[in-house]
Amino acid sequence: MNTHDPIVGRYVYVQCEGKTYRTYYEEHGEGIPMVCLHTAGTDGRQYRHQLCDPDISSNFRVIAFDMPWHGKSIPPADFHLMEDEYKLTTKFYCEFIVAFCRALDLRKPVLMGQSMGGNICLALALRYESEFSAFIALEACDYSPGWWIDPLHHPHIHGGEVVATSVFGLMAPQSPDDYRWETWWYYAQGGPGIFKGDLYFYSVDSDFRDQCQKISGKVPIYFLTGEYDFACTPEMTQRTAEKVKNSECIIFGGGHFPTSEDPVKFKEVVTPVLKKILSADPERRGQGGNALSGRSVSDSRSAGRGERPGEGRKVIEF
Amino acid sequence: MSRYGSRSSFDLEWIERWARKVNDDRILPVIGRFFTSKFVLGFDDTEYLVDVRGGKIQKIAQGLTPNDMGVEFWLKAPSSAWSKFAQEIPPPMFNDIWAMAHPLHKQLIIEGNSLPFWQNLRALTRMLSLMRQV
């Protein structure tokens, strides 16, 4: 007997700033659409645990897409003719996320993003609040300097290894080794210069310190940050949240990649948030009928690795 | 050292114990196969030369002499910061050399030629993390 994750992957063609982007996404579940944004230089695999969690997927249609240049989403066709290095901008990032949601005909999805995906929630709340029903901003703050640096894309330095190792310490030492190294692996697989180019957005083109106060508060924003995050420290998130109307701030014992470095801990932390979102939007929840219980996900570190048939499957304990 | 204890001094004897941990490690010869460099670890005002060949430490010495040519980079931090770094479970912001060196935190200063530092970051990160086993 073979074991499969329930995730389904597809490609959609997204128009943005005059170009067409063949964009890969994975999804599972039914209910309130929840679009998940990966961190800089990686891809939607960071959400594989949440995509497979029946407690979440019975109430949410969970969708994780790979930004252009990331994962299985290819760069624009003429990328080899670019006269500047790859740089993600706030404008493009916002427009692409909105265009992706429209390409899938999503109506007011929840947006969950981490790191740069968390920071962009602030820009979207400012510019496109009518497109979304809630923001879950993981490891997010209004200004995160210090990461747009040349060693991350240099011909004398192994990009994959340096990029992955530069983020390893962002994870909590207590997070499971297997998951921390899986996260390291995602980073090691990024395209040349893509992590650094994303960090142009993260550290240069996303200074929202004077804009946070202008967010209307019509759409709730939930900030969640791990105590070991040295790029976006708990204090940085707390200072940001204090400026944002209709926001909550949760600091937890974890690191910068909560969805992938410690999915069991992350479920504990995010479940109360998801419950609030469900309570505020009862008509759109899935037909599965399972209220989010906060039941722990069993340890699924061997999922898909096939030690024994069926052993790797996620099991929810009641 | 104890799990949450603090270290009052990093003397040469301690550095030697760390170097022996490094040279007993079975992963470093793999990920550090091309890590050949001379660098300096600075604890407050005390400097230790570390001479690495192929991921193994060939020599350590306290202080530098005119004969110590070819030192490529310095990693300097207060002993209070190294003390936190060397805990079995280090506290936030002290669990990683790049965390300590990041411009937001500036607990660790990288001086000299930073190219070999970045080129060997993976092996160097593991090498220094073995301080937690001393």
Q: What is the pLDDT along chain A (318 residues), one digit of tens a residue?
A: 789 999 999 999 999 999 999 999 999 999 999 999 999 999 999 999 999 999 999 999 999 999 999 999 999 989 999 999 999 999 999 999 999 999 999 999 999 999 999 999 999 999 999 999 999 999 999 999 999 999 999 999 999 999 999 999 999 999 999 999 999 999 999 999 999 999 999 999 999 999 999 999 999 999 999 999 999 999 999 999 999 999 999 999 999 999 999 999 999 999 999 999 999 988 888 765 555 765 665 444 444 433 333 444 443 333
Residues of chain B positioned with their CB less than 8 A from the CB of A225: none
CA distance B66 to chain A (A): 29
**Residues in contact with A164: Cβ distance below 8 Å, sequence separation at least 6, in sequence order:** A184, A185, A186, A187, A188, B122
CA-CA distance, B49 to B102, in Å (whole number)? 23
Distances (CA, A) of A48 to A17, A64, A114, A216, B84: 29, 9, 14, 32, 34
Q: Is the pLDDT of residue B3 over 60?
A: no
Element (H, E) at B56: strand B56-62
CA distance A92 to chain B (A): 27
Is the distance from CB of A314 to CB of A6 less than 8 angstroms?
no
CA distance A263 to chain B (A): 20
Per the CB < 8 Å rule, is B92 touching A170?
A: no
Mean pLDDT computed over B5-15 = 77
Q: Percentage of residues in chain B with pLDDT exceeding 70?
A: 94
Q: What angle do CA B63, B107, A182 make, to 5 degrees?
A: 105
Question: Residue A76 carries which side chain, given as an amino acid letter?
Answer: P
In chain A the domains, ranked by start, together with CATH numbers, are 8-284 (3.40.50.1820)
Q: Provide the pLDDT for residue A311.
A: 43
Distances (CA, A) of A252 to A112, A113, A114, A276: 17, 17, 14, 18
Per the CB < 8 Å rule, is B102 touching A170?
A: no
Whether chain A has a CB inside 8 Å of the CB on B89: the answer is yes
Per the CB < 8 Å rule, is A145 touching B104?
A: yes
Q: Provide the pLDDT for residue A303.
A: 45
Whether chain A has a CB inside 8 Å of the CB on B95: the answer is yes
Q: What's the number of CA atoms in the CB half-sphere (13 Å) around residue A303?
A: 19
Mean pLDDT rounded to a whole number for chain B: 94
CA-CA distance, A167 to B61, in Å (whole number)? 31
Mean pLDDT computed over B68-92 = 97
From the list B89, B95, B103, the residue facing A145 with the nearest CB is: B103
Is the distance from CB of A253 to CB of A175 less than 8 angstroms?
no
CA-CA distance, A236 to A183, in Å (whole number)? 23
Whether chain B has a CB inside 8 Å of the CB on A154: the answer is yes
pTM: 0.92
Question: Residue B22 carries which side chain, given as an amino acid letter?
Answer: V
Q: Identify the CA nearest to A134 among candidates A270, A306, A294.
A: A270
Q: Provide the pLDDT for residue A295.
A: 61
The total number of residues written for chain A in this structure: 318
**Residues in contact with A270: Cβ distance below 8 Å, sequence separation at least 6, in sequence order:** A136, A224, A258
Complex ipTM > 0.85: yes
Is the distance from CB of B99 to CB of A147 less than 8 angstroms?
no
Residue B20 CA from chain centroid, whole number: 13
CA distance A145 to chain B (A): 8
Whether chain A has a CB inside 8 Å of the CB on B96: the answer is yes
Mean pLDDT computed over B66-83 = 96
Distances (CA, A) of B29 to A19, A73, B24, B25: 47, 36, 10, 8
Pairing of strands A221-226, A134-138: parallel
In chain B the domains, ranked by start, together with CATH numbers, are 12-133 (3.30.1050.10)
Q: Tokens 């923001």, residue?
A: A135
Range with lowest mean pLDDT among A44-58, A96-110, B4-18, B26-40: B4-18
Q: Report the residue of A144, A204, A228 to disrupt the B interface, i.e. the one with the largest count of B CBs within 10 Å.
A: A228
